Structures are given as structure tokens and as C-alpha cells.
Structure 1
Amino acid sequence: MQPEWSDFQVFLAIARAGQLARAAAATGVDATTMGRRLRRLEARLGQTLFEQTRQGQVLTEAGEAMLAEVEAMEVAAGRIAEGAATAGGPSGVLRVSLSEGFGTWFVARHVHEFVAAHPRITLDLVASSGFLSPSKREADLAVVLSRPRAGPVIAGKLSDYALRLYASPDYLLRHGTPTCAADLGVGHRLVGYIPDLLYAPELRYLAELEPGLHADIRSSSIIAQHRLIASGAGIGVLPCFIGEAEPGVVPVLRDQRIMRSFWLVTHKDTHQLARVRAFKQWLDEAVHRHRTALLPPG
């Protein structure tokens, strides 16, 4: 009996997740059912597709070869589905990976425009500390902090953006306002990232302002850092699209700006899908319209 397409989709989910349990959680399929369908696929093909390790499922040589074929099948199926739905506009599930701050404070504020224009698209916004990988087909698009150096992807700069030091008015009233970066190391508590949990080197800010500075209160979450700064716990670096939009914090050392960039990344095989092109166009336009939020004057 020939394998069913749905069994190949199970194989694809496990290959991308690296663990059967994670694949089950991502797809909403019971892990026991998923394991049974994988064994059925292997039996019908007469091949072992994964090795079981302590870390999870690792592709065998046969599995690696089949992964390329099944990914090509997935792309073809997506193009066929999009062609059939052209009259009604782009459709299907679109998964976008974003940094926690950009996804929460920028994209989430404006994405209703995209949703209203494309009602047939189901949009997954994965805004977290870390990124899903378009090269591994974990996401259709990703907005990342540096241009990928390898992989079957297409990358372009989305926008530069600025960051500044911020504090709450109450904190400055209690501890005084620093007049230069060197003052930050004397009598002030600093909020920042946990060094060994950084998911991108571009998040190392404090040493760029003044050598030797380190955070006293640390979190892997920019949302938590913002809350700490707004509560008066200390001074910390925030993207201006967060700091300037929130009334609970004010700039410190306004002339000290840190510059970073966002890069938009898609997979070479899927960047021409209608739903991917639609989101890229909308995001480019949104960034252009709200450029002063990312790069405030002064």
C-alpha cells in the first residue's frame, strides 16, 4: 500500500521539531497517534527514517534523503492550493517569527491592517526570546537581528532602529540622573539581559555604552526588563519603539543612542508564495509609515 500524504506531513513535523513530543504539540496531533503513523510510514517504505536518541529523533541517511523530497512536495502542494484560491486572495497558514519586543510593541500594534486586508490567511505570530528558522522551515518569515550567513534563504534589511537608556521618573528622583555613561557604574542599578542566555550577540548593549558596565538585575525577556525599568528597579536599555511609547519611562543620556538593524528572512523555495509576498509588502509599508517609532529624531 502506498503511503498517504498525511503520513509524510507527520514525518516532516517530526524532522523539523527534532522530538516527537514537540512535533505533536506543534501540530495538535496526539503523540501516540503521531508515533503510530510514523511507524506505518517506515513499514510501507521499508526504511528507518529516524534514530531514537536521548535528545529526540535524529534523521537517518534515508530520512535525510526523504526530507528533501517531502519538502519539495510540500512546496508544490502549497503552490497548487494557492493557485486554486487565487480569486479569493492569498490563503493558508502564515507563520512569522519575530523578536519579543518588535513583535509585541510594533507588529502587534499594526497587524490588524494586514488581517483585515487578507481574511483568508491564518496568521501565527511567534514573538519570543529567540527565533524560528526559515531555513529549517520552522517559519515562513523571520525578522532577525543580523543577516544570515548561510542556508537556503533570502534576506534583506527591513529597517535600522535605535535604542536608548530609560528609567522611571521615580528612580531618577531617588537616585539622581546620570550626566554621562561613566556615572552609570556609580550608585545606579542596571537592568539587562542574562549574558549566557543571549540568543543574539546584538543584544550586548551596556559595554557598548561604557566598558565594564554590567547588569545587576537581569532577564531573558525584554518585556520583563521594561516592567523592571518602569517599576523603578533600575536603568536599562530599551528599543525606542518601546521606550518612547510607554509613559512610565523617560530617556536617560538622550545623546547616547545604540543602533541596530532588523533583517527580513524567507526560504528560497517559498518566498514567492502569495501569502508570504503579501506579508512582506505589508511589513515594508508599515515600517516606512511608522519609521519615526523605530528611529525617533534627536
Structure 2
Amino acid sequence: MPSIDWSDYQAFLAIARAGQLAGAARVLGVDPTTVGRRLRRLEASLGTALFEQTRSGQELTEAGESLLSSVEAMASAAGRITEHADGNDGLYGTLRISTSEGFGCWFLARHLPRFQAAHPRLAIDLVASSGFLSPTRREADVAIMLSRPRTGPLVAHKLSDYSLRLYGTRDYLQAHGTPARPADLLEGHGLVGYIPDLIYAPELRYLDEIQPGLKAAIRSPSITAQHGLIASGGGLGVLPCFMADADPRLVAVLPERRIVRSFWFVTHQDIRKLPRVTAFRQWLDETAACMEGILKP
């Protein structure tokens, strides 16, 4: 069997992480044709297909999944050797974090620069959106999820609980009245919430926990858009306290009706001991503990 160039393994790893030849090429600083040629050379040397072409990009085959953990370990070892030679103990490479829009934009975005400043050689991809990238498919190194995964080769631990309440503006309450009990919300009040068939996690179905039968009149899959709608007087709506309590335009309505959810730190079992993952987990655990009064007032 012909010898295999390390650059072929690097191409394989970049494709596995990016999910596309073009994305891998950008990471490696070469053109997609070169990445494709290296992949074909590696597959020919190993005698097996490592990816399947899908509509969304490249997905690992069973053989590719088996190879990935070994190549991750090789890349980690190579990085440690380089760091030792350079006399630099800092983290390196890329850490991709997938999280909900609210936690990513309103919590992580405010604290993450401190972590990156402590590790300047580490590039951080913060993917904060309505939905999660999959650690199982290696779309992200870490996912901050709303529930603990029950299947897949994943490890998870609870990061923190967080609180949500119903909020509105003072002007809205002056115009429509302040509800004294949850049943008052059924008449005379406009509600802001999620589009039912676009809710990406069952933990986001919480209007019925305020009062059974509540339905939103203005709806969006984006918690940032919902926040804007509520803060502009468009209605009452449920928001995470760490978002709403920082906005002087908003006041809690029926504050005794507190909803509690949880954030879970999730990663693939094969990379849970990578230095960049363990360092980020420790930092995030410490940050969440310091901010417990904001996350769960």
C-alpha cells in the first residue's frame, strides 16, 4: 500500500469538521480541487469511501466515522508537539460552539471575548441560531442544548438552570391593564411567541405553563425578534430573565409565574478530552456559576 501524506489526513479532518469541500478549503488555505484530490488519494490508499455526497455537503460514512477519532487524536498530538517546540502552552485550532440564539447572543457573546483573549491562538466559531448543529455529525465541537441528549455517542453535563418570565412594557400595561392572574391573559391581551410548527425544541413550548389555552398573535422563531416585539409594545411574551431583566423598557408580569429550564454542555465522546474542549468547559462552568443570579433570579 502506498504511503499516506499527513496533508491527506488534514484534508479529511477539515472536510469532516466543515461538512463541505469549499469550507475545508477555506480552513486549509487551498482551493477545493486540491482538497478533493487529497481526499480521493486518501480513500484510494485506504480502499474505502470516507464520505457520502449529500444535498447539504459531505457526510461521513461508517468507515469515515471510525477513522475520524484516530485522526482527531493525531491532530491533537501534532499540535502538542508544535506547542512544545514553540514554548507556547496556549490552545490552538478552532472551537465551534452551537447554542440557542438567546444564550449565544445575550450571554456568551458578552463573556466569550475574555476566553478568546486568554487563548489568542484559538479561533472560535459561535453559531447562535434557532436550532442546533449536531455534535454527533461533527457539525460542532460543543453544543449548549436545552435538554440532555438520550442517544448518540455524546457526553453531557448540566451547565445551569435558567429562569423565564412573562414581560411587557409599562406603556403596554398602562394601555391594556396589568393582569392580576393568568386567566386575565385570555382576553384583552396580545401575546408574542414562537411559531408552533417552527419550534426546534419542546422546551420552548411554555405559554401553556403560564395559562392553558394561550396563543400568540405575533409569532417568530427568533427570540431576538420576540424580544424586540415585546420591547416595542407589541404584546406580552415569555423571555429568559437574563435577556429581559437587562432591558429597562421591560417589566415582569405575574412575576410569581417563573418557568425554569436548563442548559446542557454537550460534546462528542471522542473529543471530550481535547484541550480546547476541556478548557472551554471549565471556563464556561465557572462563568455560569458566577452568573447564577442573572441566569436564575
In 2, the alpha carbon distance for the partners of 1:58 and 1:267 equals: 16
Aligned positions of 1:146-157 closer than 5 A: 146-157=147-158
Query: How much has 1:10 moved relative to structure 2?
Result: 3.8
| CA separation of 1:202 and 1:23: change in aligned 2, threshold 3 A | farther
Partner of 1:241: 242
Partner of 2:281: 280
| CA separation of 1:171 and 1:95: change in aligned 2, threshold 3 A | same
Contact 1:97 1:125 in 2 (8 A): yes
User: Residue type of the partner of 1:193?
Assistant: Y
In 2, the alpha carbon distance for the partners of 1:76 and 1:99 equals: 31
The secondary structure found in structure 2 opposite 1:85 is helix
Partner of 1:107: 108
| CA separation of 1:33 and 1:176: change in aligned 2, threshold 3 A | farther
Which digits, 9 at most, give the CA deviation of each residue in 1:16-44, with x for residues without a partner?
66655676678776555544544454455
Contact 1:91 1:122 in 2 (8 A): no
Aligned positions of 1:214-225 closer than 5 A: 214-225=215-226
Of the candidates 67, 74, 77, which is equivalent to residue 76 of structure 1? 74
Of the candidates 57, 62, 65, which is equivalent to residue 63 of structure 2? 65
Query: How much has 1:159 moved relative to structure 2?
Result: 0.7
Aligned positions of 1:1-298 closer than 5 A: 2-15=3-16, 30-31=31-32, 33-43=34-44, 45=46, 47-52=48-53, 57=58, 63-85=61-83, 87-92=87-92, 93-296=94-297
Contact 2:69 2:271 in 1 (8 A): no
Q: What is the alpha-carbon root mean square deviation over aligned residues?
A: 2.6
| CA separation of 1:271 and 1:199: change in aligned 2, threshold 3 A | same
In 2, the alpha carbon distance for the partners of 1:121 and 1:181 equals: 48
User: Residue type of the partner of 2:71?
Assistant: M
Query: How much has 1:173 moved relative to structure 2?
Result: 1.8
Which digits, 9 at most, give the CA deviation of each residue in 1:189-231, with x for residues without a partner?
1111111111111010101211111111111111111001001
In 2, the alpha carbon distance for the partners of 1:229 and 1:25 equals: 40
Q: Which runs of 5+ in 2 are unaligned?
A: none
Query: How much has 1:11 moved relative to structure 2?
Result: 3.9
Contact 1:156 1:263 in 2 (8 A): yes
* TM-score, length of structure 1 as denominator length: 0.87
In 1, the alpha carbon distance for the partners of 2:59 and 2:79 equals: 31
In 1, the alpha carbon distance for the partners of 2:52 and 2:291 equals: 49
Query: How much has 1:294 moved relative to structure 2?
Result: 0.7
The secondary structure found in structure 2 opposite 1:91 is coil
| CA separation of 1:166 and 1:117: change in aligned 2, threshold 3 A | same
Contact 1:159 1:262 in 2 (8 A): yes
* TM-score, length of structure 2 as denominator length: 0.87
Query: How much has 1:257 moved relative to structure 2?
Result: 0.5
Of 218-227 and 110-119, deviating more is: 110-119
In 2, the alpha carbon distance for the partners of 1:222 and 1:29 equals: 38
| CA separation of 1:207 and 1:9: change in aligned 2, threshold 3 A | farther
In 2, the alpha carbon distance for the partners of 1:100 and 1:231 equals: 20
Contact 2:13 2:72 in 1 (8 A): no
In 2, the alpha carbon distance for the partners of 1:65 and 1:275 equals: 26
In 1, the alpha carbon distance for the partners of 2:128 and 2:80 equals: 26
Which digits, 9 at most, give the CA deviation of each residue in 1:28-64, with x for residues without a partner?
76555544544454455554444545565555xxx42
Contact 2:13 2:71 in 1 (8 A): no
User: Residue type of the partner of 1:71?
Assistant: S
User: Residue type of the partner of 2:63?
Assistant: A
Contact 1:99 1:143 in 2 (8 A): yes
Contact 2:142 2:267 in 1 (8 A): yes
Contact 1:12 1:67 in 2 (8 A): no
Contact 2:134 2:143 in 1 (8 A): yes
Query: How much has 1:280 moved relative to structure 2?
Result: 1.2
Of 136-145 and 70-79, deviating more is: 70-79
How many correspondences in the alignment? 293
Which digits, 9 at most, give the CA deviation of each residue in 1:120-165, with x for residues without a partner?
3222222111112223222222211101112222211111110000
| CA separation of 1:31 and 1:155: change in aligned 2, threshold 3 A | same
In 2, the alpha carbon distance for the partners of 1:39 and 1:6 equals: 12
